[in-house]
Amino acid sequence: QKAAERVRDVAAELLDIYAQRAAKAGFAFKHNREQYQLFCQSFPFETTPDQEQAINAVLSDMCQPLAMDRLVCGDVGFGKTEVAMRA
């Protein structure tokens, strides 16, 4: 019984947090494609298809007027910093 009440309380708290977050306006970044292309051309190597997909997903999130909620996950040396820099 106590566990069920605790689960219900935590669920209610999470719903409240997400409702408050959804009610706030976020900041939509403006994407300057020309500057971005110049920046990307300065890198000495090509991105992988998976990195490109992650970069595009992050860029898409950043251009929305909502709080961003995304995790970039990968092993050491798989290009997480590259994704962050390009996004």
pLDDT of residue 81: 85
Q: Domain for residue 15, yes or no?
A: no
Picking from 79, 72, 87, 67, the residue whose alpha carbon sits closest to that of residue 18 is: 67
Residue range 24-77, pLDDT digits in tens? 888 888 888 899 899 889 988 888 999 999 999 999 999 988 888 888 888 888
Domains held by the chain: number: 1
What does the pLDDT read at residue 14?
A: 96
Residue 66 lies in a domain: yes
Distance, CA of 81 to CA of 31 (rounded, Å): 19
Is 70 part of any domain? yes
* pLDDT of 79 higher than 90: no
9: pLDDT confidence band, cut at 50, 70 and 90?
Answer: very high
Q: Please say whether the beta carbons of 38 and 84 come within 8 A.
A: no
Residue 87: pLDDT over 80:
no
Query: How many residues are recorded in the chain?
Result: 87
* Helix, strand, coil shares, percent, the chain, to 5: 60, 0, 40
Domain that holds residue 51: 25-86
Residue 14 is assigned to a structural domain of this protein: no
